Amino acid sequence: MSANASYPPGPDGVPVVGNTFALSRDIFEFYERLREEYGPIASYRVFGTDACMVAHPDAVRRVLLDDHDAFVKGDVLTRNLEDAMGEGLFVTEGEQWRQQRTRVQPSFYRERLNTYVPEMRATARETVEEWRDGAVVEANEAMTATTMKVLGRTLFGVDVTDEPVVADASAAILARFDTSRFWSFLPDTVPTPTNRRYRRELDRLREFVDELAARRRAQSPAERGDDLLSTLVGFVEASDLSREEFRDNMITFLFAGHETTALGLTYALLCLARNPDEQTRLREEVDSVCEGAVEADHLPELERTGRAIDEALRLYPPVYMFFREAARDVELGGYEIPAGTTLVLPQWVVHRDAAWWDDPATFRPERFAGDADRPEYAHFPFGGGPRHCIGMRFARMEMKTVLATILRDYRFELVSAAEPELVASSNLKPGEPIELRIHERG
Ligand code: HEM
């Protein structure tokens, strides 16, 4: 560390935030004010923890990519998630993480993912076939049901709609991460009704994933196929994965994979409902690229659709911030970051910073056309570096397939608020329904 490096500036002493944030705008205002007053790398204290916001793309890149080995996911994350998925890919560190990542990576190769597109399309079709001309649809509910089914069918070979335990556990686990809990950063020791229900549902979910594994083990290799469940079961049989690692990874993939993607789709629909001309242009693209059904081969050609998704993920990043902890003293952007400091990397702040984005609040997908003159990490909805989202390609393929399937058959307009209230919970969620009126194409 250089002799002159200093700790990042920030408000002194007493905590500058209360211990609950009712709405996301409170959190976002806090970080945006911190950036305005102290710059993109700024310090603060919250509940006795020394924390530092990292909101400059070059510093984000240093943390996630160039100097990634100086950082761990850290206490804040572990405390919140260790019960449910402490031995899974999202939380583990070091050699254990590296081995798990290497083992599951082939399940996310492009060729493998291409084989999921027919299932993604069929599931999207089931959703739109329930819609009627002139009906009002709540986007988040419809997209959550769709992504949950896609995940279950493609990665685990189960129809989760037939398994109420998954929906019940999902509700109980997500309830535990409501806004105030998530931001309280406190360990889960208090036996509140929410926490009791959480424990009960987590136990049921573990029994369920064990049962799924038992059903697979009873099948012949030919019957088993090679989805993610079979891959994980195979590793347990070869003693390359413990039973805890198996369970925690099943739960990791169930939870990391569906709410985020559903939110990405919901916000893309919101943006397109607010921008009917762009919606028309996407529909023209889908009509010209996809004759008949949407196929895996079509997806790379749906370029405009891809840019609209990127732009929706910029404005409304489902993962709106995440954490790291300095494992040793490091220098970052000329500042000294002591070992043990919690870092917050806020996509929301960087994605809406006028330093990198003209007119940042406006939906303008053409920003992503051609070579843009901005740092790579000005847009990081899927994180970056070795721990970037392993499901990124899966999510992008699914979002394109579902959007294209909807656009082929329907026009939609917004019935609810143009700028819905947002809730900064475990993910960035709408705090009120996002209602679309659906019109069949004539
Ligand atoms: C739009 C949808 C999604 C978004 C915005 C998203 C976002 C992210 C982000 C930001 C991270 C990095 C977190 C960190 O570095 O601390 C991450 C990691 C991860 N994501 Fe996603 N994700 C999405 C979809 C998915 C899907 C579909 C899956 C699985 C099927 C998935 C599984 C994971 C896993 C397992 C990790 C941990 C990877 C590791 O640490 O090696 N995600 N995701």
- 27-31, 78-82, 329-333: lowest mean pLDDT where? 78-82
Task: Provide the residue type at 51 as one letter.
Answer: A
From CA 378, how far away is CA 352, in angstroms rounded? 9
Give percent above pLDDT 70 in the chain.
92
85 and 252 in contact (C-beta within 8 Å)?
yes
Q: Any residues with CB less than 8 A from the CB of 139 and at least 6 apart, and which?
A: 265, 266, 269, 270, 434, 435, 436
- Å from CA of 318 to ligand 1 middle: 10
pLDDT above 90: residue 268: yes
Return the ligand 1 atom nearest residue 108 CA: 30
Q: Locate tokens 């500036």: which residue?
A: 9
- Å from CA of 399 to ligand 1 middle: 14
In this structure, which residue's CA is closest to atom 14 in ligand 1?
A: 383
**Tens digit of pLDDT for each residue in 300-344?**
999 999 999 999 999 999 999 999 999 999 999 999 999 999 999
Task: Provide the residue type at 351 as one letter.
Answer: H
pLDDT above 60: residue 1: no
Answer yes or no: is the C-beta of 381 below 6 A from any ligand 1 atom: yes
Dihedral of alpha carbons 306, 312, 315, 321, sign: negative
**If you average pLDDT over residues 343-357, what whole number do you get?**
96
- Å from CA of 415 to ligand 1 middle: 31
pLDDT above 60: residue 251: yes
From CA 229, how far away is CA 34, in angstroms rounded? 44
Answer yes or no: is the C-beta of 85 below 6 A from any ligand 1 atom: no
- Å from CA of 91 to ligand 1 middle: 11
> pLDDT category, 179, cuts 50, 70, 90?
low
> What pLDDT is recorded for position 189?
59
**If you average pLDDT over residues 381-397, what whole number do you get?**
98
Residue 4 inside a domain? The answer is no
pLDDT above 60: residue 21: no
**If you average pLDDT over residues 65-89, what whole number do you get?**
89
273 and 413 in contact (C-beta within 8 Å)?
yes
Strand partners, 71: 326
Residue 7 inside a domain? The answer is no
From CA 32, how far away is CA 39, in angstroms rounded? 9
| Domain span holding position 75 | 24-440
Strand partners, 6: 335
- Å from CA of 262 to ligand 1 middle: 13
Record the tokens describing residue 413, joined without a space: 């307009």
Return the ligand 1 atom nearest residue 90 CA: 37
In this structure, which residue's CA is closest to atom 3 in ligand 1?
A: 260
- Domain with residue 260: its CATH number is 1.10.630.10
318 and 24 in contact (C-beta within 8 Å)?
no
- Å from CA of 316 to ligand 1 middle: 16
Return the ligand 1 atom nearest residue 396 CA: 1
> What pLDDT is recorded for position 30?
84
Answer yes or no: is the C-beta of 390 below 6 A from any ligand 1 atom: yes
Answer yes or no: is the C-beta of 81 below 6 A from any ligand 1 atom: no
- 66-80, 118-132, 141-155, 370-384: lowest mean pLDDT where? 66-80
**If you average pLDDT over residues 219-245, what whole number do you get?**
92
* Helix or strand holding residue 344 (H, E): strand 342-345
- Å from CA of 376 to ligand 1 middle: 18
Record the tokens describing residue 306, joined without a space: 């891809």
> pLDDT category, 23, cuts 50, 70, 90?
very low
Residue 334 inside a domain? The answer is yes
Record the tokens describing residue 405, joined without a space: 């399937």
Residue 206 inside a domain? The answer is yes
**Tens digit of pLDDT for each residue in 185-194?**
455 556 677 7
In this structure, which residue's CA is closest to atom 17 in ligand 1?
A: 389
- Å from CA of 390 to ligand 1 middle: 6
**If you average pLDDT over residues 83-90, what whole number do you get?**
92
How far CA 400 is from CA of 42, 121, 265, 427, 429, in Å, comes to: 37, 10, 9, 21, 20
Answer yes or no: is the C-beta of 383 below 6 A from any ligand 1 atom: yes
> pLDDT category, 257, cuts 50, 70, 90?
confident
pLDDT above 80: residue 275: yes
Pairing of strands 49-54, 342-345: parallel
Q: What is the pLDDT of the chain when averaged over all its residues?
A: 90
> pLDDT category, 364, cuts 50, 70, 90?
very high
377 vs 22, more confident:
377
Answer yes or no: is the C-beta of 385 below 6 A from any ligand 1 atom: no
pLDDT above 90: residue 35: yes
- How does DSSP classify residue 7? P
For the sheet with 71-72, list strands across it: 41-46, 49-54, 342-345, 322-326, 71-72
> pLDDT category, 380, cuts 50, 70, 90?
very high
Answer yes or no: is the C-beta of 404 below 6 A from any ligand 1 atom: no
Residue 307 inside a domain? The answer is yes
- Total tally of structural domains belonging to the chain: 1
3-state secondary structure at position 107: helix
